[in-house]
Structure 1
Amino acid sequence: MKPLKEFTIPFVGLKIASHHFDYDIEKTFFEYFEYEDFNDVAIKVKVDLNKKTTLMELHFKISGTVNINCDLTNEPYDQKIKNEFDLVVKFGDEYNDEDTDILILPHGAYEINIQQYIYELIVLTVPIKRVHPGVKDGTLNSDILKKLEELSPKMDPEKEIKEEDIDPRWNTLKKLLTDK
């Protein structure tokens, strides 16, 4: 997969100071990764790169919305997301990204591509269980919700558990709790 040029930061020409980069992420960004869970995407990414003499610190901050389908009703809705991530970039003999918070670039490197970090940060921020806000507060009017409620098991008040229906051996065991 060829890296996207707009997410490549050439740090060699930058002064030793703090630098700021802004990105607008849309659905085409996720099509590049062949990720199809999002219907639509509107996310702002702010990256602060603090260049020092021997290392660089990157601070990612994302906020926006992704349009996804509810797991219960399959109705699309906008899920707000917000997250932050810190990455330390050091220099070494060879490329190493085994640690999630530390990236080691070879000594001759002159640029860094941050598209993978942005992709992972956004995808991991979306909740695992996606429930439409209308399901939580009861305002969503959906055929699927009506069918789920129709088919859900109902508790019959006549079939309440009575004291005489309980196995007498349990009563003996309950005495162990009260006999101290």
Structure 2
Amino acid sequence: MKDLKQFNIPFVGLKEGKHLFQYEIDNTFFKTYNYDEFENSSLDVTLEFVKKSTHFELNFTASGTINVPCDVTSEFYDQEIASVMPLVIKFGPEYNDENEEIIVLPHEAFQLNVAQFIYEMIVLGQPSRRVHPKVLDGTMESETLDKLKELEIKEVKTVEETDPRWDKLKNLITEKKT
């Protein structure tokens, strides 16, 4: 993924301590992952990279908007995204990402590409059910909403029908008591 070189962090030359990295994310970023769920996106990602002698602590923060279709009406709207993801990078004999909060890099590694972490944080940070704000406040005018209201199940009044045999048995109980 040659388009993601800007997300490489050459940590060998960094001094111990806190370092900040800023990224502006748009749809070209998601196209490198063949992810086309967003019509448009504009996100700011901040990475606080803390280098310590034995490990790294990464804190990703993303904020911005993604333009997505509403799950109810299919109308596009801007969904606010605010996501945070902490991550610890340690060193070991080989790469290991089995734990979602701790990544093990091989000892010979000299740089880290953070694009995959940013991608996962944003995609997983969106709500599972996306509903247009105008649907929530009831101000949206849409053919889809009109059709849904038309097809809505109305309250069904059921007349409780009883089996006449059971009615006779109930009568036996009440006759016995008197």
Q: Cα distance, 1:3 vs. partner?
A: 6.4
Cα distance in 1, alignment partners of residues 2 and 67 from structure 2: 27
2:116 maps to which residue? Answer: 116
Distance in 1 of aligned mates of 2:162 and 2:117: 58
Aligned partner of 2:144 in structure 1 is 144
In structure 2, the partner of 1:135 is: 135
Q: Which one-letter code corresponds to 1:150 in the other structure?
A: E
Checking the alignment, whether the CA contact within 8 Å between 1:3 and 1:115 is kept in structure 2 is: no
Q: Does 1:98 align with 2:114?
A: no
1:74 correspondence with 2:71: no
Quote the Cα distance in structure 1 between the aligned partners of 2:34 and 2:144: 29
Q: Give unmatched runs, 5+ long, in structure 1.
A: 173-180
Q: Which structure 2 residues correspond to residues 46-65 of structure 1 after superposition, within 5 A?
A: 46-65=46-65
Q: Distance in 2 between matches of 1:27 and 1:3?
A: 13
Per the normalisation by structure 1, the TM-score is: 0.86
Distance (Å, rounded) in 1 between the aligned partners of 2:55 and 2:147: 58
Quick check: 2:3–2:32 contact (8 Å CA) kept in 1? no
Q: 2:71 is aligned with what amino acid?
A: D
Q: TM-score, structure 2 length as denominator? A: 0.87
**Is contact 2:46-2:60 (8 Å) kept?**
yes
The code of the aligned residue for 2:6 comes to E
Residue in structure 1 matched with residue 175 of structure 2 by the alignment: none
SS of equivalent residue, structure 1 residue 12: helix
Q: Aligned in 2, Cα 1:13/1:166: closer, same or farther, shift over 3 Å?
A: farther
SS at match of 2:13: coil
- Preserved CA contact (<8 Å) 2:45 2:62: yes
Answer whether contact 1:55 1:91 (CA < 8 A) is retained.
yes
What is the Cα deviation at residue 147 of structure 1? 1.0
Identity across the alignment (%): 49
Does residue 11 (structure 1) correspond to residue 11 (structure 2)? The answer is yes
Pair 1:141–1:13, CA change in 2 (3 A): same
Q: How many Å separate the matches in 2 of 1:72 and 1:89?
A: 41
1:127 Cα deviation from its structure 2 partner: 1.0
| Structure 2 CA distance for partners of 1:147 and 1:12, relative to 1, 3 Å | same
User: Would you say how many aligned residue pairs link Structure 1 and Structure 2?
Assistant: 166
Residue aligned with 2:66, SS: strand
Change (3 A) 1:3 1:26: closer
RMSD value, Cα: 1.8
